[in-house]
Chains A and B, each alone.
Chain A
Amino acid sequence: MSIATVRRRGALLGGSRSFWSLLAWVVAILFFFPVLWMVLEALKTEAQAASIPPTILFVPTLEQFQAVLSRDFPPFFINSAIATIGSTMLVILLGLPAAYALAIRPVKRTRDALFFFISTRFLPFAASLVPLYILARDLHLLDNILALIVIYTTINLPLGVWLLRSFLLEIPNDLFEAARVDGAGFFDELVGIVLPLVMPGLAATALICLIFTWNEFFYAVNLTSSVAATSPIFLVGFISGRGLFYAKLSAAATLASLPVLLAGWIAQKQLIRGLTMGAVK
C-alpha cells in the first residue's frame, strides 16, 4: 500500500471524527437520560411531573426535596450511612491483614484461601436469607442495623481481600526486605510501609463497599422494617404510588442515589478495578 493511500485513509478517519463524536454523544445521553429525567422530575411540582404531555420546560423548584427531607427520609439515610461506614471499616480492618498475608508474605495454599473467599461472594443471597432471618430473630437482631453491618461485611470482605491483595502485589518486595533488615516488626511494617502505599487500594475498597452496601436491597427489605430500614426501603413506600407522587418519588430516588453516584463519578479510576476485584486495571 502506498504512503498516499495510508495518508488518505488517515485523513478519512480524521474527517469522520465528528460523526463518531456525535454518535457517541447520542448514545451516552440516551443511556444517561433516565438518570437526568429522575433529577428533572424531582425539580418539578407534582402537577408538572404528571402532566400530559410531559413537561419539558419549567421553573425548577426545590419543594420536593424539602418535602422529602423534612419528613421521614433522614432516618433511612442515616441508617444507610451507619451500615455503610460500619461495614466498610470492618472490611478494611479484617481485609487488609488478610490481603497482606496473601500477598506480601504468602502463606501456604494461598490459592485455596483466595478461591474460598471469592466463592462465598458468589453464593446466592437468596440461599442464606431464611437462616439469617431466623438467626437474627433468635438473637433479637431483626430490624437492627447491627445485623445488616455483619451481613454487608461478609458480602464485601471477599472483594476487599482480593482487591487489597492486588494493590499490595504492586509494592516492590525490596521495601519489605529493607524493613526486615532494619528490624522493623510486623506492625511497624504494616503501618509504616504498607499503609501509605496501599491508600489507593483502600479508596477503591471503600468505593466498592459503598456501592454494594448503600444500594443493597434484598437483605435490607427482609431483615428490617422501621427502626433500621435503609434508603432503598424508603422507596418501597412509593411502589403503589397510584396517587400523583411522581415528583416526590423522583426527589427521594435522587437523594437516595446521590452518595453512590457522586463517589462513583469522583473515583472512576478505582471503579473498574474494584468491580473486577483487581483483575482489570
Chain B
Amino acid sequence: MSQPNVSKPAVPGSAVVAEVRRPRAAASAARRDSWLRRLPLLPALVYVFLITQIPFALTVYYSFFSWNLLRPGSFQFAGLQNYAAVLTESSTRIAIVNTVVLTLCAVAIAVVIGVLIALLLNREVFGKGVLRTLMIGPFLVMPTAAALIWKDTLLNPIFGLVDYVLSPIGLGHVDWVNRFPMATIVTIEVWRWTPFMMLIVMAGLQSQNLETLEAARVDGADAIATFRYITLPFIRPFIELGALLGSLFIVQTFDSIFMTTQGGPGQATTNIPFLLYLVAFQGFDVGKASAIGVFAVILTMIVATFALRTLFTIFHVEARR
C-alpha cells in the first residue's frame, strides 16, 4: 500500500503525518493522497473564509472613510477621523461600560444560579427529567418573544403580573423597564442563560466519579467540604466553559434591548451592538459604524482568546478519558 500510515491522534489537533522516504512515484502518489485528503475540507473553509473575511476587511476599509448612506457621492477618505470621533464621544464610553456591566453581571449571576440548580437537580429529586425539561424552556423560547412577554405581560406597571404579585408588599405600580432598565435587561439575559450554564455543569456533575464522593463521605467530609475540595475542582472547567461561551453570546446582546428599551432611556441600555445599529441604521454613518465594529472585534477577540484556550483544554480532557 502506498498510503502513508496516518495514526489517529490521541489528542485532537496534533495530527502528525508520518513522513516516510519513498521513491518518486510513491512520493507523487502521496502528494495526490494528501490533496485528496484536504479536498473535503476546502469548500467549507473557502465558504467561511469568504463570507467572514470579506465583510471584516470591508469594515476596516470603510472605517477610514466618511460615508453617509443617504447621501450618494459622500464617500470620502477621512483618515483616522472616525476613530477619533468614536474614541472621544461619550456615547462610545457609555456603550462600552454598558456592555461590560451587562456581560459581567448576567454571566456571573447566571453561572452562580446555574451551578446551584445543577447541584439541586443532580440530587435524587422527584421527576428529574421533567424538571430539566421545564428548566431549558427559557433558553429555547425565541429571545424577541421572551423580551416582549417580560416587558408587556410581566413587568408592565399596570397590567403586569409582577406588579400584581409585589403590590401587597408596597412595590406596586413600578415601571420596572423604565426605572431599572439595565436590571431588566440583566434579568432577562440571566433568565435565558441560567439554563445553559445549568446544562453544562450538570453534564460535568454526571461525569463525576461517585466512588470518590463516597470515599470522602466515609472519611468524614461534610457536604460543604466535599463540594469545596472535590466537586468544585472537578466541575471547574465546565463552569469556565459555560462562563466563556456565555460571555461571547451575551456580549452580543441585541434582541432583548431592541424589544424592551431600544437602548434607553437615554443611553442607559445602549451596548456596543446596539450603538453600532443606531449609528449605522438611524444615522446611516457607515464610516463611524465601521470604526465601532473594529473596536467590537478587538474587544471580542480578547474574550475569545481565553474561551478558545478553555475549549481546547476541555477537548484534551475528553480525549484522555
Contact = CB atoms under 8 A, between A and B. Distances in A.
Given A31-B195, A114-B13, A106 B6 contact: yes
B136 A265 contact: yes
B12 A110 contact: yes
A51 B254 CA distance: 31
Given A154-B48, A222-B277, A126 B135 contact: no
Interface string A2-39: 00001001000000011011011101110110110110
A163 interface: no
Given A94-B47, A124-B300, A127-B59, A25 B255 contact: no
B265 to A, nearest CB: 15
Contacts of A238: 148, 152
B41 A97 contact: yes
A111 B311 CA distance: 12
B199 A275 contact: yes
B218 A217 contact: no
Nearest to A262: B140
B229 interface: no
Contact of B164 (A49, A53, A154, A161): A53
Contact of B280 (A133, A217, A231, A235): A133
A156 to B, nearest CB: 10
B14 to A, nearest CB: 7
A124 B297 contact: yes
A135 B294 CA distance: 18
Contact of A31 (B6, B138, B144): B138
Given A119-B308, A254-B145, 6 more contacts: A1-B219, A6-B217, A51-B159, A125-B273, A128-B293, A130-B280
23 contacts: A17-B124, A20-B124, A28-B117, A35-B141, A38-B146, A50-B159, A101-B39, A110-B15, A117-B48, A122-B304, A122-B307, A124-B297, A124-B299, A126-B293, A127-B296, A130-B289, A165-B12, A217-B255, A232-B143, A246-B153, A252-B145, A253-B141, A260-B142
Interface of B: 3, 6, 8-9, 12-15, 17, 34, 36-41, 43-45, 47-49, 51-52, 54-56, 58-59, 62, 69, 117, 120-121, 123-127, 131-146, 148-150, 152-154, 158-159, 161, 164, 191, 194-196, 199-200, 202-204, 207, 217-220, 238, 241, 245, 248, 251-252, 254-255, 258-259, 272-273, 276-277, 280-281, 286, 289-290, 292-294, 296-297, 299-301, 303-304, 307-308, 311, 314-315, 318
